[in-house]
């Protein structure tokens, strides 16, 4: 089984709808991240969390919210989806230590019509 | 904060040739530099990383070099194969940074590598 899983893998929705993307991990890591990937823009950080009680905004948090339900679960919500939120979304995890190596899930392709 | 620039954005090579992707970073305090490979339909996967206390690291056909003075690092792939075709991302961080840089990687924009048989 994969260490980092994301659901759903694909989602098509309409403008104004609320969407939740879920991430689960079995790596036992404390740190979890949500990224957005757009062509030519690399990976941009939306939100990150270092433990259940810690939530931090990344560089592009407007229009998104998150919930860290447990050490292993980190959800990303779009309260009212808009077309320019159409993108690939990745969850990642990292342990604490001497490096910041992150381990990525398979991604969710979200299309907002 | 840190800024990472990656070049080229696309790279096309013939099978067996070498491929080089270059990144520059802005924060001289950064000391951890991973490279990720993203295959179609998958998430990025770590392929090699280097810390600032070494100048070069190799793993079979891939190698990474680091020049801290110039603040740039490069990925070298030798004897390329079609299965090397993917998007490659460089990143930088300072694992011991405080403040808003703590625990975060800054990624380059990505390079689409195509290896033609």
SS3 string, chain B, reads CCCEEEECCEEEEECCCCEEEEEEECCCCCCEEEEEEECCCCCCEEEEEEECCCCEEEECCEEEEEECCCCEEEEEECCCCHHHCEEEEEEEECCCCCHHHCCCCEECCCEEEEEEC
- Partners of A47 in beta bridges: A34, A57
Strands A73-78 and A19-25: antiparallel
Model confidence pLDDT, tens digit, residues B13-55: 999 999 999 999 999 989 899 999 999 989 999 999 998 888 9
Nearest in space to A21 (alpha carbons), one of A3, A38, A33: A33
Q: Which residues of A touch B36 (CB under 8 A)?
A: 104
From B6, B32, B43, residue closest to A100, measured CB to CB = B32
Residue A88 contacts residue A107 (beta carbons within 8 Å): yes
The DSSP symbol for B95 reads T
Interface check for B107 against chain A (CB to CB < 8 A): the answer is yes
Dist CA A2 CA A21 (whole Å): 17
Report the pLDDT value the prediction gives residue B103, as an integer from 0 to 100. 77
Strands A108-112 and A10-13: parallel
CA distances from A83 to A14, A17, A45, A113, B52 (A): 8, 11, 19, 6, 41
Interface check for B6 against chain A (CB to CB < 8 A): the answer is yes
Q: How near does any CA of chain A get to the CA of B87, in Å?
A: 10
Interface check for B10 against chain A (CB to CB < 8 A): the answer is no
Report the pLDDT value the prediction gives residue B1, as an integer from 0 to 100. 80
Report the pLDDT value the prediction gives residue A16, as an integer from 0 to 100. 97
Q: Is it the case that residue B102 has pLDDT exceeding 80?
A: no
Q: At which residue do the structure tokens 């948090």 appear? A: A61
Q: Is it the case that residue B100 has pLDDT exceeding 70?
A: no
Residue B83 backbone phi and psi in degrees, to 5: -75, -5
Checking phi first, is residue B16 left (phi over 0); if not, alpha (psi -120 to 50) or beta? left
Dist CA B64 CA B21 (whole Å): 10
Q: Which residues of chain A carry a pLDDT beneath 50?
A: none
Strands A108-112 and B10-14: unpaired
Contact A42 B43 (CB under 8 A): no
Residues on A contacting B at a C-beta cutoff of 8 Å: 4, 31, 40-43, 45, 48, 50, 58, 90, 92, 94, 97-107
Model confidence pLDDT, tens digit, residues B77-87: 999 999 999 99
Q: At which residue do the structure tokens 């979890």 appear? A: A32
Q: Is it the case that residue B110 has pLDDT exceeding 90?
A: yes
- Partners of A67 in beta bridges: A75
**CA B90 and chain centroid, separation:** 3
Report the pLDDT value the prediction gives residue A2, as an integer from 0 to 100. 67
């Amino acid at each position: 089984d994969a260490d980092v899983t994301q659901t759903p893998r694909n989602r098509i929705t309409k403008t104004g709808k609320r969407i939740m993307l879920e991430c689960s991990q079995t790596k036992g890591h404390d740190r979890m991240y949500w990224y957005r990937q757009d062509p030519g823009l690399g990976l941009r950080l939306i939100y990150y969390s270092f433990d259940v009680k810690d939530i931090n905004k990344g560089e592009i948090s407007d229009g998104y919210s998150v919930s860290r339900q447990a050490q292993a679960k980190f959800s990303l919500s779009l309260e009212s989806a808009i077309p320019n939120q159409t993108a690939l979304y990745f969850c990642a995890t990292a342990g604490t230590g001497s490096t910041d190596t992150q381990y990525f899930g398979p991604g969710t392709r979200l299309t907002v019509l | 904060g840190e800024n990472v620039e990656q070049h080229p954005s696309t790279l096309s090579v013939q099978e067996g040739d070498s491929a080089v992707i270059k990144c520059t970073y802005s924060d001289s305090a950064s000391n951890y530099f991973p490279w990720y490979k993203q295959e179609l339909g998958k998430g990025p996967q770590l392929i090699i990383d280097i810390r600032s206390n070494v100048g070069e690291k190799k793993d079979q056909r891939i190698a990474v070099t680091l020049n801290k003075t110039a603040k740039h690092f490069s990925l070298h792939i030798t004897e390329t194969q079609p299965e090397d075709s993917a998007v490659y991302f460089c990143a930088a961080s300072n694992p011991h940074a405080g403040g808003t840089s703590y625990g975060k990687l800054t990624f380059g924009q990505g390079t689409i590598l195509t290896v033609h048989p």
